[in-house]
Amino acid sequence: MNQPFMGPPDKFGRFGEFGGRFVPEALMPACLELEAAFDDAWADELFRNEFHHVLKEFGGRPTPITYCERASDALGISLYLKREDLAHTGSHKINNVVGQALLTRRMGKRRMIAETGAGQHGVASATAAAKFGLECTVFMGEVDTKRQELNVFRMELLGARVVPVTSGSKTLKDAVSEAMREWVTCVTDTHYCLGSVMGPHPFPYMVREFQSVLGKEAASQCLERGFQPDFVVACIGGGSNAAGLFAGFANSSSQLVGVEASGGAAISGGSPGVLHGMRSMIIQGESGQVEEAHSISAGLDYPGIGPEHSHLAAQGRARYVMATDHETLDALQFLSSHEGIIPALESAHAVAWVMRESGREIPTGSTVLINLSGRGDKDVAQVRQELRARRD
């Protein structure tokens, strides 16, 4: 009998040849403690009930599915959006941080630290910390603090301390590295609230399980409306929103498509390697030196991808494609003007691929579900600058 897709990892935290736990000896006890705490909590009906209750009463779940009539007519498909942009704090990130904040409290720790790129995970972490009375420190690349000034202020308003990271490329990769360095020094009273399905085990599995609420919800909503999507599409940096969505459709007939930034396409342009405690597909040179990624969206500016995505690609269950910065800007304008919905630049990558491939890889008449993982308020100033520069 064939094993279902997207089951738990093996006892070493591996999905096939990917995953694992490649961390300094000083962090191994913290990872083992977290694994045991999550396994115990996730098996506890009371914990799961509280998780879902908080997401309903505080996080705004369930989020709806929206049919995009004008965009569908323009593209020759039936286009639906899973509206994670309507969740509290404006993205899917609230699902994971509520789970990890509850886990932090359950482990008796007083403080959370987090990394952030576009700022959405940082805002969500600061939000959950404020709700549950936890201290919060967020590490953010200096480049990203400048292009996401609004989210920096939101985090500070929520009571978090934002630490600009000035090493390396000063973006998401370096924020993760700095957060891990901090965690080594304070594991006894601090939990690292990692924001995506990456890093050492149990983070990829744990974050996927917390995010699977959106995929299971979407699958049920599609069934209630009488259709099975031909294509299920999500943008990918580390890959948490895609993993959450795919979890609801992995064992269905739907084609799963993850859309990476063309300047950070780890599946298409990378090779197996180790980064941030995991073995996955990484953008690296011949000598194994990790190379810098580039994306117009801070949240996709990462040179790796979560190990389960690498495994899904190796299995042939999911496809991973690319969208350029130019296509992404066009897609953001298209969805805004046709549907009155301004997507985050990250989510616009998924829209861009669907726009490009409708009538080609996506046959005319197909039903497509995109995870609109975040709203574009945070990106409006940057988009205005980009469009002005394009006109000039």
Taking a C-beta distance cutoff of 8 angstroms, is the pair 269, 275 a contact?
A: no
Per-residue pLDDT at 1: 38
Taking a C-beta distance cutoff of 8 angstroms, is the pair 175, 122 a contact?
A: no
Q: What angle do CA 353, 60, 77 make, to 5 degrees?
A: 25
Q: Would you list the domain boundaries of the chain? A: 16-55+93-203, 60-91+212-391
Per-residue pLDDT at 2: 64
3-state secondary structure of 385: helix
Choose, from 31, 68, 222, 235, the residue flagged as catalytic. 68
Pairing of strands 231-236, 255-261: parallel
Is 68 in the active site?
A: yes
Residue 337 — φ and ψ, nearest 5°? -80, -25
What DSSP designation does 78 have? E
Residues 6+ apart with CB under 8 A from 288: 273
CATH number for domain 60-91+212-391, candidates 3.40.50.1100, 3.40.50.300, 3.20.20.70, 3.10.20.30: 3.40.50.1100
Crossing angle of helices 45-57 and 28-42, rounded to 10°: 90
Taking a C-beta distance cutoff of 8 angstroms, is the pair 305, 239 a contact?
A: yes
Burial of 287 (0-12, 13-18, 19+ CB in 10 A): exposed
CATH number for domain 16-55+93-203, candidates 1.10.760.10, 3.40.50.1100, 3.40.50.970, 3.40.50.1370: 3.40.50.1100
Query: Along the 392 residues of the chain, how does pLDDT read in single tens digits?
Result: 367 999 999 999 999 999 999 999 999 999 999 999 999 999 999 999 999 999 999 999 999 999 999 999 999 999 999 999 999 999 999 999 999 999 999 999 999 999 999 899 999 999 999 999 999 999 999 999 998 999 999 999 999 999 999 999 999 999 999 999 999 999 999 999 999 999 999 999 999 999 999 999 999 999 999 999 999 999 999 999 999 999 999 999 999 999 999 998 999 999 999 999 999 999 999 888 999 899 999 889 899 999 999 999 999 999 999 999 999 999 999 999 999 999 999 999 999 999 999 999 999 999 999 999 999 999 999 999 999 999 87
User: What is the amino acid identity at position 274?
Assistant: V
- Among 32, 79, 44, 91, residue whose Cα is nearest residue 240: 91
Sign of the dihedral through C-alpha 274, 277, 279, 283: negative
Sign of the dihedral through C-alpha 40, 312, 15, 270: negative
Place of tokens 């630290």: 113
CB-facing half-sphere around the CA of 234: CA atoms within 13 A: 28
Q: Do domains 16-55+93-203 and 60-91+212-391 have the same CATH topology?
A: yes
Tokens of 117: 């790129």
Choose, from 88, 92, 201, 276, the residue flagged as catalytic. 92
